[in-house]
A and B are shown apart, each in its own frame.
Chain A
Amino acid sequence: MTNTRVLIVDDELLIRDLLYDFFTSRELDVTTCNDTHDALQMLEESPRFDVILTDIRMEGEDGLSLVDKIRDVSPGVPVVIMTGYPSVETAVEALRKRVYDYVIKPFNINRLYNTIVAAAAEFSPDQGKNDKPSEVSTEYASENFSSR
């Protein structure tokens, strides 16, 4: 059985390294990149990711624009958005783009891990976003980890 493959897109090295180390220690297969251009290149070369975790604010194109392109390359793959600058506007935009979750930094890394695993478990080529169960996922808190 292959491990869950996660693509992390964030321009902050600290976040990429921290998530890489933590998720790898929990046996996820993690790939990181620092902008949407590299992310798209990776998706085109190997579109078989089970979950994509992306920051919103990055140099160049933002993470929400990346979601549309992900839909073209890897339709159905769950996307988890993270941001240190939460707003109603970006949360609603994320909702309309059918993201799996909208995570606010600083976050609890254990809960983020649970969200990633739950998103991957839900994803299969036969399942769309709207098959999502009605159960509400856990709240995030800053108790374990601060990034900004």
Chain B
Amino acid sequence: MRPRILVVDDELFIRELLEEFLTRNGYNVATAAEPHEAVRRVQVDEFDAVLVDLKVGGSNGFEVVQNIRHLSPDSSVLPMTGYPSVDTAREAIRCGAFDYIVKPFRLNELEKTVAAAVDECRRRYEARQVKERLTELEVKIAAMNIRESKQKLTLKRAGEEVNSIPGTTDTIEPEVESLGARLNRSRSRQSVSAPFDQ
């Protein structure tokens, strides 16, 4: 499936340039000229990465960044600015942005950053799915253990010899181990990101 990218910028030229370039490079691109339009798009569609100009529509772009992080926590958010400053870079750290893109940029370098942002989004999605499945299995194992204990107690009271109850947690444990290994592999890839040369 083609990675989905949202470009949020009030400059038509930038929107068209990024849409054309990223589409040519295999991405599925949507654009928004206004913050509320960006938020609406994120509410109805899923995006792997969102590029947001920090001065979009004359507003504080970090409000858009925070809204997107809230609505779509797996999406990687990439603030863009033509006026780089320490303050906005710090704000980007605090918002959990994936990178900080300074305009003017080189398109090939931007593409590398977008590709890394997409990978990061998919890694987060996979890690979340694995964690959710692990939680489900842990609950199932706990329930099975309780049932097994009850069965053993019943058998013991009836004076029967008890070793193990067939069909209990043995069937689930291999999946738990495999999911745990996937989660660890996913975490080991977490800190790798392609730098965006300014």
Binding site for B on A (CB under 8 A): 71, 75-76, 86-89, 91-92, 94-102, 104, 126, 128-132, 134, 136-137
Contacts and interface: CB of A to CB of B under 8 A. Distances in A.
B120 A136 contact: no
B42 to A, nearest CB: 13
B193 A132 contact: no
Interface stretch (B88-96, B140-148, B151-159, B165-173): B88-96
Interface of B: 62, 66, 69-70, 73, 84-86, 89-97, 99-100, 102, 120, 124, 127, 131, 187-188, 190-191, 193, 195, 198
A132 B86 contact: no
Among all A-B residue pairs, the 6 with the closest Cβ atoms: A91-B89, A134-B69, A86-B86, A132-B96, A134-B66, A88-B84
A136 B92 contact: no
Most buried by B among A87, A130, A137: A130
Contacts of A88: 84-86, 89, 102
B96 A134 contact: yes
Given A91-B86, A102-B90, A96 B66 contact: no
B62 A136 contact: yes
B93 A128 contact: no
Contacts of B191: 71, 75, 97-98
A101 B93 contact: yes
A88 B102 CA distance: 10
Nearest to B90: A102
Given A91-B86, A128-B190, A96 B195 contact: yes
Nearest to A67: B191
A134 B86 contact: no
8 contacts: A76-B187, A92-B100, A95-B100, A101-B93, A128-B187, A132-B96, A134-B66, A136-B62
Nearest to B194: A96
A40 to B, nearest CB: 17
A92 B187 contact: no
Given A128-B187, A128-B190, A92 B96 contact: no
Contact of A95 (B62, B97, B127): B97
Nearest to A132: B96
B113 to A, nearest CB: 10
B176 to A, nearest CB: 15
B187 A102 contact: no
Contacts of A87: 86
Contacts of B188: 75
A106 to B, nearest CB: 15
Contacts of A136: 62, 66, 91, 94-95
A99 B86 contact: no
Contacts of B97: 95
Contacts of A97: 191
Choose among A88, A89, A94, A100 the residue with the greatest number of B CB atoms under 10 Å from its CB: A88
A20 B154 CA distance: 59
Contacts of B131: 126
